[in-house]
Chains A and B, each alone.
Chain A
Amino acid sequence: MSEASFPVNDLVRRKLRTSLTVISLTCSVASTLFLLLFSERIGFGITSVAEGTLTHGLSVVFSQFVLFVGILIFAVGAVIISFIVFLMMAQRTRDFGLIKAAGCPNGLVFSYFITELLIVTLAGCLLGVVFGFVADFAVTKLGNFQVYQKPPDLWLAPLVFAVFFALALIFGTKPLLDAARSSPIKALSPIQYFGLSTGNKLKALSRSGIIFKIASRSLFRRQSATVRIVLLLSIVFVLLTVSIAGSIIADDTTKSWVEKATGRNVIVVTHNSMCNQYKALYSKFLGATENGNFDYMNPKLFVSGAILQQLNATAGIANVDVRLILKEHIEEVRSYTIDPETLATIPIGEYREGDFLVVGVEPEKVMDTGYMKGQFLNSSDAWAAVIGDTVAQTMFFTNTSIGPQSINPKTGRPYGADYPKFSDPLLQSLRLQGKTFRIIGVRSDPINNGNVTYVSLKNLQNVTNVANVNIVLVKLDPSADRTVTLAQIREKVQNINSEFTVFELDEVLNKNLDFLGSMWSTIMLLPVFTLTSAALCLIGYMMLAVDEQRQEFAILRAIGAKPKTIIFILAIQSIIVLLSSFAVGISFGVITTLLILVPQPVVTSFTIVEVAAWLFTALMGMFLLSLVPAVKFAKTPILKIMT
């Protein structure tokens, strides 16, 4: 046999194991590449947090998830490769011994198995790259992301390929070298075989179930493989919990933010052109672009007193929220704070400025403020403002600050130089038309992707000299007949001004919520690839268990054990491995999700049931798959096993 043909023939001869190894690698590479391609495509580069597709607050939550899931997928990929290589070596130790006993030099043995490793890794990584692109293409075409049809970032493919290929070599070469250098007698030893540990100290005749005893002792006997599979599955379950629990909770939470900020059962009454502009401002998740030259002060947009009078007089309306929306120039106002020890003045913020959407509202009419830091406007706080989360990020958040130039006599350095440089919008103000407004809150707001500032209507009208409003948000009474109320509003508004329209904001809200739902669903899909890899690894582990206990099972069968007893022993081993990994994975996953990834999580009892159902399904699926080798083995005749 030639040197080159041995590894190829060896891999072909062990079709099932080779396939399992290649498929596991393929799934790991594909899931990682898909994650990177998808996140790049929709504008959330792993490293760049806010790219303008969502509001800053939502971007942060989504990007954190993508980043965390990406790290976990990479970690799982690394552990899978380590585990696969270990399995390859564990199952080949005897072959090493035999080949070396026959006189094959170390270098040649090493070259045989490194060639096998390279072939398997190359095949797995190449297929993974192909499937990664296919998955990205399919999700983008079939999912709700048609607006982000930019070409895929091809440079990601060699990056992922190189990283995983390198990981395989790093993790694979060491055990290969160890195995190639071990003496033939060591390689042939049953103690060495499968990494068995010697010196089992369990003693005495126990009355506990014999089946459990056989299962658990075998599990600990091949502790190297058991530790690896538990580690691998633990990371997979962390990933699964973060992806499933996180996605469901984050989905509920972010939808709740958007729904509260937009309002449910809200009707917009405004001029036709303003209506289109308002819809565009609310549809930025879906890639809509508003008219940049829109004249918000055009008198024809102003809502007449007659319309307001009619709306207030209409039955079935819970609230009439009048607003003035303008595009205004806003300046950041630097603030100062005092160091309590030195009494030095420390500056906060800079002198930035820009044009933003400004919404004047009657604070007492704003029914729900959504997710925010600080507080919303109130009637008693006259010159106050609430800014959108993206404004807070772009204008009021930076680590650069100009310190005071006076020297601190104690340190000999300028005042402020010893303090962390920071900006904090809640300690700052903004200037609008020469008037200063104290910032009292930061709100996650879908309108104009969070590029918005709220001030009281009265103040906005005062500083801009616009006495009118250009939009009315009408909250319908949920107990009233929606169709009747809507018809009445339409009729009254049309009778007064035919250029005015009545628009149901729920339409835009639902599209936004669907978009968010699609994004989180996609996050939920990511671990499917990894889960498949992990399930295949678990099957590989169970095949190792079957191989290692083959003779014992044959003896048990010969002494009177039924086939189901063998399945039961292997099932116990699978359960121990799965449950220990599950406990570790779920704990870390839940802690990470609730304490780190999602701020102010919305967790209902339904959410808990939904998450538990998904995780339980995954656990059961993996458990049932892990029994495949056991069931197949149990059907094998005793003599065939013994020989």
Chain B
Amino acid sequence: MKADNFAVVVYSLRKAYQMADVKVEVLKDVNLNVATGEFVVICGPSGAGKTTLLNIISGIDRPTSGKIIVFGEDLTEKDEDFLADFRCNDVGFVFQSYNLVSTLTVAENIAFPMEWRRKPAEEIEKRVAELLETVGLQHRANHFPAQLSGGEQQRVAFARALANDPQLLLADEPTGNLDTKNGQKITQILQMLKTNGKTVIVSTHDAQIIQLADQKLCLEEGRLASQDE
């Protein structure tokens, strides 16, 4: 497969943090290719570097060395403004802890990435309604995050991540804080995204989500290995 066909190319990626006098190496020479439309699952124990890898792919964090190319753009060379636009337009990120804006209602939380792209109000309203229906939260449109359950908040987070119809969706342990029933609802959403041909990278321990994977990877002590191998 040509490099152009890959949504994400990670090459010789390293990430280290300086904690007082100690240098902690979180990612060590990570290499990864994700094809467009592929559903990738990354497993691994806590502290293995899963969140760090997703943060770097999304442009939230920067690597210490190595290359990270997403849809042909080398993110390591881009400035903060480019990365902000990139996160808004090309990537949807679902955090483990939902991370909804507490001052905005459910509908507004879903709408604001579109408002930043200055989309017409009618289009935003239509898209919000569509996404609320997708995640089954039409009746919660005007509620604030504090008034929702954890599962509902996570579904709102998915709706927000999909607002600008990004080519790539990243989800960091999306069912990690949820019970089985709510976890199933999230799995259904991921199933739907896979069916629609969206490129998805999920870090998870959830067996149901792992079953959806086209490519299963395991991150252990900062090194990536294919579980298929």
Using a CB–CB distance below 8 Å, which chain A residues touch chain B?
A: 200, 202-207, 209-210, 213-214, 217-218, 221, 551-552, 554-563, 565, 637-639
Contacts and interface: CB of A to CB of B under 8 A. Distances in A.
Contacts of A554: 99
Contacts of A561: 84, 88, 116
A565 B85 CA distance: 12
Contacts of A638: 60-61
Interface centre among B89, B99, B160 (most CB of A within 10 A): B99
A205 B102 contact: no
19 contacts: A203-B142, A204-B105, A204-B107, A205-B107, A205-B108, A205-B111, A210-B104, A210-B115, A213-B108, A218-B103, A551-B99, A555-B95, A560-B87, A560-B116, A561-B88, A561-B116, A562-B84, A563-B80, A563-B84
Range, interface on chain B: 35 or more
Interface of A, helix, strand, loop or mixed by DSSP = helix
B101 interface: yes
Contact of B88 (A214, A552, A559): A559
A204 B115 CA distance: 15
* CB-based closest 10 A-B pairs: A560-B88, A217-B103, A560-B87, A205-B107, A562-B84, A207-B121, A203-B142, A555-B99, A210-B112, A210-B115
A558 B60 contact: yes
Interface of B: 55, 58, 60-61, 80-81, 84-89, 93, 95, 99-105, 107-108, 111-113, 115-116, 121, 124-125, 128, 141-142, 144, 160
Contacts of A552: 101-103
A569 to B, nearest CB: 10
Contacts of B125: 205
Given A555-B99, A559-B113, A206 B60 contact: no
Nearest to B93: A558
A639 B54 CA distance: 12
A210 B108 contact: yes
B142 A214 contact: no
Contacts of B124: 205, 207
A565 B95 CA distance: 21
Choose among B85, B103, B144 the residue with the greatest number of A CB atoms under 10 Å from its CB.
B103
A202 B58 CA distance: 32
Contacts of B100: 555
B58 to A, nearest CB: 8
A205 B123 CA distance: 13
Given A205-B125, A206-B108, A210-B115, A558 B99 contact: yes
Contacts of B89: 560
Between B61, B84, B100, B113, the greatest number of chain A beta carbons within 10 A of the residue's beta carbon is seen for: B84
A204 B142 contact: yes
Which of B81, B115, B160 has the largest count of A CB atoms less than 10 A from its CB?
A: B115
Contact of A210 (B60, B102, B111): B111
A557 B84 contact: yes
A559 B115 contact: no
Contact of B116 (A207, A210, A217, A555): A210
Nearest to A562: B84
